[in-house]
Structure 1
Amino acid sequence: MSDAARIEAAIRERLAALSPTAVDLIDDSHLHAGHAGARSGGRHYRLTIVSEQFSGRRTMERHRIIYAALGDLMQRDIHALSIVARAPDDAPAA
């Protein structure tokens, strides 16, 4: 298994703790070739996730929940993470 595949599998496994109804994880690392974070091994991702755990919570709280779920991956394997976190009853992002 490649390093990129290992990291993506670890991300998905940890996010499963949030019981998401949808997860869209895109590795954008190739768009950041030569960037300091890319050189140090950290990868760049875009995440869209829908979970009931986000209901009634503000954006920053939702992001903190995700960061907590990802734990040490944020310090070691993920250099940048763009997040869209929605509750099932939220209107879809435009």
Structure 2
Amino acid sequence: MAMQASEIEALIREGFPGSEVKIDDLAGDGNHYAATVVAEQFRGLSRVKQHQAVYAALKGKMDGSHGELHALALTTKVPE
């Protein structure tokens, strides 16, 4: 089952309070998204650790072949 952009955004915002989150549906199919997340919580973390933290906030929605979210292109940043 496909995820809605609003559900992805809500999970990320819950994991990163005060963050800026932008979700784009890349294919119009509810399975391929791009997310840009700007969060103070990323400060001092490597890009890999930032992305792992976002995946953790998605609470298993991307896990394995049974995940609800097929593809998520991530851009993570620390606020300027």
TM-score range, shorter chain: 0.7 to 0.9
Q: TM-score, normalised by structure 2?
A: 0.80
Greater Rg over alpha carbons, structure: 1
In the TM superposition, what whole-angstrom CA distance separates every residue of 1:5-64 from its partner, at most 9, and x where no partner exists? x5222211111121243111001123xxxxxxx7xxx70111111000000111000000
CA RMSD, aligned part only? Answer: 2.1
Distance, in Å, in 2 between the alignment partners of 1:64 and 1:54 is 11
Report % sequence identity: 30
The aligned amino acid for 1:85 is T
More helix by share: 1
Q: Equivalent residue for 1:56?
A: 44
Size of the aligned set, in residue pairs, is 76
Which portions of structure 1, spanning 4 or more consecutive aligned residues, are displaced by more than 4 angstroms? Answer: none
Give structure 1 stretches of 5+ with no counterpart. Answer: 31-37, 90-94
Give structure 2 stretches of 5+ with no counterpart. Answer: none
